[in-house]
Chain A
Amino acid sequence: MSFQLETAAHPERLRRVAIDPVSRVEGHGKVTILLDNQNKVHQVRLHIVEFRGFEKFIQGRPYWEVPVMVQRLCGICPVSHHLAASKALDLVVGAKKLTPAAEKLRRLMHYGQMLQSHALHFFHLCSPDLLFGFDSDVTRRNIVGVAAAHPETAKRGVLLRKFGQEVIRVTAGKRVHGTGAVPGGVNKSLTIAERDELLKEIYHIVQWSREAVHLIQKVHMQDPGLYNSFGIFRSNFMSIVGNNGDLDFYHGSLRARDDNGTLIFDGVDYQQYAKYIEEEVRPWSYMKFPFFRALGREKGWYKVGPLARVQNCNQISTPFAEHERKEFVDYAGGSPMHAPLAYHWTRMIEMLHAAEVIKELLHDPDILSNDLMVHGERQMEGVGVIEAPRGTLFHHYQVDENDVVTMANLIVSTTNNNQAMNEAIRHVARRYLNGREVTEGLLNHIEVAIRAFDPCLSCATHALGKMPLEVELVDAEGGLVHALSRS
């Protein structure tokens, strides 16, 4: 097999370490590591059990139910699924172009979602590792520890998230499981009172987001040896970009670059995604491995999410975020940055951009308009793509003449990053675990790499680092040699 450390030559002779489940990672994340008697690492795999059943579940359901139903896919960013499905089904109801009010209200909802998800990801789930160190005292390495040591940082994290959730509430009707977007538009606009409440807060939300960028920038620059190399691998990257190549989370065309930043494709209408992207099934994982057809399965895998987006766009339309993007590009020194920990820096640039866009939208009278729905000629198929907090998200549906969904295909951000996350943890395992006695702190390094990409795997209820972690070292016969657990 071509991917190093994906498959060991003689697994039967090796000991097995399973990190199960990965703490602060939702869904069923599990890492297995095969070690020999000298603790040399032979195989590392991230297994994620998810989603496949969901596509089946959607089949046979009426299409208008889908945008609400798919929110159950993710506890952290249900709005992304809500909107990606709505965009696909807009095409089914013939709504090629939404009213300006509907498009802006959806955008507002989505950017509120980006803000809350990025704040949660950074402050609640990752700041403990970044502020205290990856193998710092595990009892302190959680948001409660951050609140004790850096109360202002923790408080802002909470309030940024709360603001994002409030934006979602006024656009979708509820903080979770709202219903705002419907095929062809949205079902509500903002009242003046709702808008004014948000306007009161948005200025310091923007300011705090700027300071969050500076915080992570400083942390990153203080330890370039770690931050520029931890878990590093080079890869292609992909995102949608908006008009003129702007950073855009809600709509645009597909653009992909290789590891040097050279374009692989650009301006691709995402209705055609299947011509460009193929999904490979591997026997050991429930999650598929997508790759660019043009490059094949060995060379064609890619990463998505903040690090991909911020380096894929030509510019950011809002001034503060654009300034920070330039600083980042400058630091990267003219070629793309591939370090997984740089995801955090770019994530905070995106959070700032989201805050600035929300500010602009709150000043736009269209969000108060009641011109919310359009319909056109009914179609049988639609693809909706959105940049979710963790990366590009595809929803593809076919709907029969009786309005029932007959085919659903979803490529979620985590799937897009599947190979990338596997590469990152293999790098970390090689560098930190190889030949050493495995400790909780060392294993947390693996999780730090995963969390750089994906808190999605991280459920809000487990956000306090309280999720039990079990690690088992199993010898060649499958007998338990040593067990580590935290609870």
Chain B
Amino acid sequence: MSQSFVLDGKGIPFEDGQTILQAAGNAGVFIPHLCFHPEFKPHGSCKLCTVKVNGRHTASCTMRAMPGMVVESNTEELNGERRALTQMLFVEGNHFCPSCEKSGNCQLQATAYHLGMMSPHFDHFFPNRAVDASHPEFLLDFNRCILCSLCVRASRDVDGKNVFALSGRGIKTHLIVNAKSGRLADTDFSLADKAASVCPVGVILRKRQGFAVPIGERRFDKAPIEASAKEA
């Protein structure tokens, strides 16, 4: 493996076809990301993974690594931009961590901690979206969707079902359930689906399990999100 690029002053080896995010992850360097998942094609929508390549902003989850690239990631400027994006995600939805059952297992919360986000900064939108509790085993709380489309990709590409879709444009974009009624109960969604376990935040939730795991034993209680670089 002779190819490499420079990330924050450090040489990072890579294989043909790898993205910057993947190569950095293999080398144990964490780049914040939300819509990327190693098992799915990158989507490039959340922009959390933005780095500077030879001085220009680009999403590291979609950008292939090239020999000799000079990449900046862990800089004050980029982390500041990531923090602002995270704050916007917080205020667009209802992310009340203290009473959210995904707390401690939530990538958005863990990313906010990683970026040192101390407050939401912007005015809250306080959306009021009804939950879909129609399914016997799963609850959908649309108030927390960050539109990463992982469930859409998982259901379509792995489960072969197309249970979820993103609908609308721009600020009106929202998650929908592909059923005439719009209710999860009227789809063939099931516990075994990949889409059932892929949501990085607290939208797609197994019913009646909330808060079963005590504080201290949840995923990000044990290790912060940056320790999971290699999973990228």
Q: Evaluate contact between A65 and B212: CB separation under 8 angstroms.
A: no
Q: Evaluate contact between A187 and B130: CB separation under 8 angstroms.
A: no
Residues of B in contact, count (CB < 8 Å): 21
Question: In the bound complex, what is the Cα–Cα distance between A187 and B211 (angstroms)?
Answer: 7
Q: Verify if B85 is at the interface (C-beta below 8 Å from A).
A: no
Contacting A404 at CB < 8 Å: which of B100, B131, B208, B212?
B131
CB neighbours of B133 from chain A (8 A):
62, 402-404
Closest to A181 in B: B211
A-B contact pairs, 19 of them (CB 8 A): A61-B131, A64-B207, A64-B209, A64-B211, A65-B211, A67-B211, A68-B99, A68-B210, A68-B211, A178-B215, A179-B214, A179-B215, A187-B211, A187-B213, A187-B214, A402-B133, A403-B133, A403-B207, A404-B133
Contacting B99 at CB < 8 Å: which of A60, A72, A93, A180?
A72
Decide yes or no: A64 and B214 within 8 Å by CB, A72-B98, A402-B133 being known contacts: no
Contacting B98 at CB < 8 Å: which of A62, A64, A177?
A177
CB neighbours of A385 from chain B (8 A):
none
Chain A: residues with CB nearer than 8 A to chain B? 60-62, 64-65, 67-69, 71-72, 93, 172-174, 177-180, 182, 187-188, 402-404
CB neighbours of B213 from chain A (8 A):
187
Contacting B207 at CB < 8 Å: which of A61, A62, A67, A69?
A62
| Contact digits for B169-211, partner A, Cβ 8 Å, 1 yes 0 no | 0000000000000000000000000000000000001011111
Question: In the bound complex, what is the Cα–Cα distance between A258 and B211 (angstroms)?
Answer: 42
Docked complex: B113-157 residues within 8 A CB-CB of A: 130-131, 133-134, 139, 141
CB neighbours of B226 from chain A (8 A):
none
What are the nearest 7 A-B pairs in CB distance?
Answer: A173-B215, A188-B214, A402-B133, A69-B99, A64-B210, A177-B98, A187-B214
CB neighbours of B9 from chain A (8 A):
none
Q: Evaluate contact between B212 and A187: CB separation under 8 angstroms.
A: yes
CB neighbours of B101 from chain A (8 A):
64-65, 68
Closest to A62 in B: B139
Which of B99, B100, B213 lies at the interface centre, i.e. has the most chain A CB atoms within 10 A of its CB? B99
CB neighbours of A403 from chain B (8 A):
133, 139, 207-208
CB neighbours of A69 from chain B (8 A):
99
Docked complex: B57-102 residues within 8 A CB-CB of A: 98-101
Q: Evaluate contact between A71 and B131: CB separation under 8 angstroms.
A: no
CB neighbours of B215 from chain A (8 A):
172-174, 178-179
Closest to B134 in A: A402
Nearest CB of A to B191, in Å = 16
Nearest CB of B to A318, in Å = 29
Which of A67, A172, A173, A177 lies at the interface centre, i.e. has the most chain B CB atoms within 10 A of its CB? A173
CB neighbours of B55 from chain A (8 A):
none
CB neighbours of A61 from chain B (8 A):
131
CB neighbours of B168 from chain A (8 A):
none
CB neighbours of B141 from chain A (8 A):
62
A interface SS class: loop
Question: In the bound complex, what is the Cα–Cα distance between A188 and B215 (angstroms)?
Answer: 9
Q: Verify if B216 is at the interface (C-beta below 8 Å from A).
A: yes
Closest to B129 in A: A60
New A-B pairs, 12, CB < 8 Å, besides A72-B98, A174-B215, A403-B139: A61-B131, A62-B131, A62-B207, A65-B99, A68-B99, A93-B208, A172-B215, A173-B215, A179-B214, A180-B214, A182-B210, A187-B214
CB neighbours of A62 from chain B (8 A):
131, 133, 139, 141, 205, 207, 210
Q: Evaluate contact between B99 and A71: CB separation under 8 angstroms.
A: yes
Nearest CB of B to A460, in Å = 16
Question: In the bound complex, what is the Cα–Cα distance between A172 and B211 (angstroms)?
Answer: 11
Question: In the bound complex, what is the Cα–Cα distance between A121 and B152 (angstroms)?
Answer: 52
CB neighbours of B212 from chain A (8 A):
182, 187
CB neighbours of A173 from chain B (8 A):
214-216
CB neighbours of A65 from chain B (8 A):
99-101, 210-211
Closest to A174 in B: B215
Nearest CB of A to B210, in Å = 4
CB neighbours of A71 from chain B (8 A):
98-99
Nearest CB of B to A84, in Å = 16
CB neighbours of B139 from chain A (8 A):
62, 403
CB neighbours of B205 from chain A (8 A):
62
Closest to B135 in A: A402
CB neighbours of A178 from chain B (8 A):
215
Nearest CB of A to B40, in Å = 28
CB neighbours of A172 from chain B (8 A):
215
Question: In the bound complex, what is the Cα–Cα distance between A84 and B200 (angstroms)?
Answer: 31
Which of B212, B213, B214, B216 lies at the interface centre, i.e. has the most chain A CB atoms within 10 A of its CB? B214
Question: In the bound complex, what is the Cα–Cα distance between A24 and B213 (angstroms)?
Answer: 36
CB neighbours of A180 from chain B (8 A):
214
Contacting A64 at CB < 8 Å: which of B130, B131, B208, B216?
B208
Q: Evaluate contact between B131 and A179: CB separation under 8 angstroms.
A: no
Question: In the bound complex, what is the Cα–Cα distance between A112 and B175 (angstroms)?
Answer: 44
Question: In the bound complex, what is the Cα–Cα distance between A177 and B100 (angstroms)?
Answer: 11
Question: In the bound complex, what is the Cα–Cα distance between A131 and B149 (angstroms)?
Answer: 62
Question: In the bound complex, what is the Cα–Cα distance between A180 and B213 (angstroms)?
Answer: 9
